[in-house]
Amino acid sequence: MVLPQSTVSLRFLAIVAVATPILLAGGPTAEAKPTQTGLVLQNSLNRVINAPNGPPGISGLIVRNGKRQYFQRGKGNVRSGSAPRIWLPFRIASVSKAYTGAVALSLVAQGRLSLDDTIGKLLPNLLPRARQVTLAQLLQHTSGLVDYIKDPAFVRKLVARPSRYMTPRRLLSFVRGDRLAFRPGTEYEYSDSDNIVVGLMAEKVTGIPYEWLLRREIAPKSFFGPTRLPRRLFMPPPFLRGYEVTPGQPPEDVSKAINPALAWASGGMISDLPSLSRFMRAYVGGRFFGAEQRRAQRRWVEGSSSPPGPGVNSAGLALFRYQTRCGTVFGHTGSFPGYRIFAASSADGRTSIAYVANAQITPDQGSPKVSGLIRRSQVAAVCHALR
């Protein structure tokens, strides 16, 4: 959930409402001798944490052939001074879209949904100007739907009461009368509205609330753990605190500044690093659907996740391809007040990276220089994982 700085300050919204990597295969044991890629990763993380106006902390998990390597820097809780911990839940923001993709493509594999199903067919009164938009276009952000998060009326209500709950249909009502930004299927433009519609489509064909569908479709094939989609300002304690970093001021805790239900299927979920890692390996590895859906998912178009992930980004169906100098991984990024996330897996589902910085520092929010350092540290994590 990224709101343009020109539109609203996250600090205003809140007002109105050095460790080495640890191997975790069995018990914690220190690496006998850091590899070259490990040293590069350590140095890149240090540069992020030591940068002026950088995030208070970074926490990440690399899983390779069943062995887990955890890395962390800085503080997970500024007030107590405690370090980040591998099992602390946090808001996974737009990585939630990958879960939406897993649910939708699983239903496609079951014959409950089709990639050619349209908004007009399944939800005829929802968005009258977008009746021809298909499920595939929604999942790939080629629908042309205007992003409700950028609508001035939505922003005014958010500023007035950030803790409020709005139904998914109410969220889409802010753009119900808007024309499409382009003819569906002809361009790429990242929009949170897309995944709200996908969640409603899934509910329509199953008759099951999306929150329940998540557990029904995900849990049997991937550890669900603390993963959930709350409707209120909820975080299971203890959790990784999220901060807004403003030059000249101490970090401000915004973990509970905005109700995540205002992002719903587009970005409202909570999870932790082990659960997120296992999900991403299962998702990219193809455990939720068959080869036909996997081929459709990986018909790439030029497009970046938000915020951009490491390397060169391309967009599939609820999945992004990140091509780096060290190899290619597949996954999703996300940002929400207090958090910036990157989660990805190798194509075979055997290697994964899950990474969270506890500040929403993106090219549009916070320091562009620090945002660039974060992205470079993600490349370093990919290189270390694929070494």
Write out the two tokens for 149.
């998060």
Quote the pLDDT of residue 136.
98
Supply the pLDDT for residue 2: 59
Kindly provide the b/e burial profile for residues 119-134, where b requires at least 16 CB atoms within 10 angstroms of the residue's own CB. Answer: bbebbeebbebbebbb
How many C-beta atoms lie closer than 10 Å to residue 189's C-beta? 15
What are the tokens at 134?
A: 């298909």
Query: Diameter of the chain by CA atoms?
Result: 62
CATH number of the domain that residue 227 is part of: 3.40.710.10
Of 179, 104, 195, nearest in space to 144 by CA: 179
How many C-beta neighbours within 10 Å does residue 86 have?
19
- Residue 178 placed within a domain: yes
Amino acid letter, residue 214: L
Q: Decide if 305 is inside a domain.
A: yes
- The token pair at 309 is 């992930």
Residue 91: other Cβ atoms inside 10 A: 32
Place of tokens 């999942």: 139
The pLDDT value recorded for residue 3 is 56
Calpha distance 16→31 (Å, rounded): 46
DSSP 3-state assignment of 225?
coil
Contact 283, 236 (CB under 8 A): no
CB atoms within 10 A of CB 283: 29
Contact predicate 128/179, CB 8 Å:
no
If one counts the domains in the chain, the total is 1
Per-residue model confidence (pLDDT) at position 372: 97
Instruction: For residue 260, tell me if it sits in a domain.
Output: yes
Per-residue pLDDT of the chain (387 residues; tens, 9 = 90+): 655 443 333 433 433 332 333 333 333 333 445 689 999 999 999 999 999 999 999 999 999 999 999 999 999 999 999 999 999 999 999 999 999 999 999 999 999 999 999 999 999 999 999 999 999 999 999 999 999 999 999 999 999 999 999 999 999 999 999 999 999 999 999 999 999 999 999 999 999 999 999 999 999 988 888 999 999 998 989 999 999 999 999 999 999 999 999 999 999 999 999 999 999 999 999 999 999 999 999 999 999 999 999 999 999 999 999 999 999 999 999 999 999 999 999 999 999 999 999 999 999 888 899 999 999 999 999 999 998
Q: Do the Cβ atoms of 38 and 359 come closer than 8 Å?
A: no
Residue 5's pLDDT is: 40
The answer to whether position 262 is within a domain reads: yes
3-class SS of residue 368: helix
Residue-wise DSSP of 83-97: PP-TT--EE-GGGHH
* Structural contact between residues 100 and 107, judged by C-beta atoms closer than 8 angstroms: no
Residue 48 falls inside a structural domain: yes
Distance separating alpha carbons of residues 283 and 346, to the nearest angstrom: 11
Asked if residue 4 belongs to a domain, the reply is: no
- pLDDT confidence of residue 222: 87
pTM above 0.75, yes or no: yes
Give domain status of residue 103, yes or no.
yes
Residue-range definition of the domain harbouring residue 361: 10-385
| pLDDT in the model for residue 209 | 98
CA dist 120 and 165 (Å) reads: 26
Q: Which of 46, 86, 95 lies closest to 68, judged by CA? A: 86
Joined tokens for residue 67: 């062995």
Q: Does residue 16 sit within a domain?
A: yes
Give me 298's structure tokens: 């990986």
Q: H or E element: which one contains 134? A: none
Taking the C-alpha atoms of residue 269 and residue 249, their distance in angstroms, rounded to an integer, is 29
| C-alpha 6, offset from chain centre | 23
Beta bridge partners of residue 216, listed in sequence order: none
H/E element holding 111? none
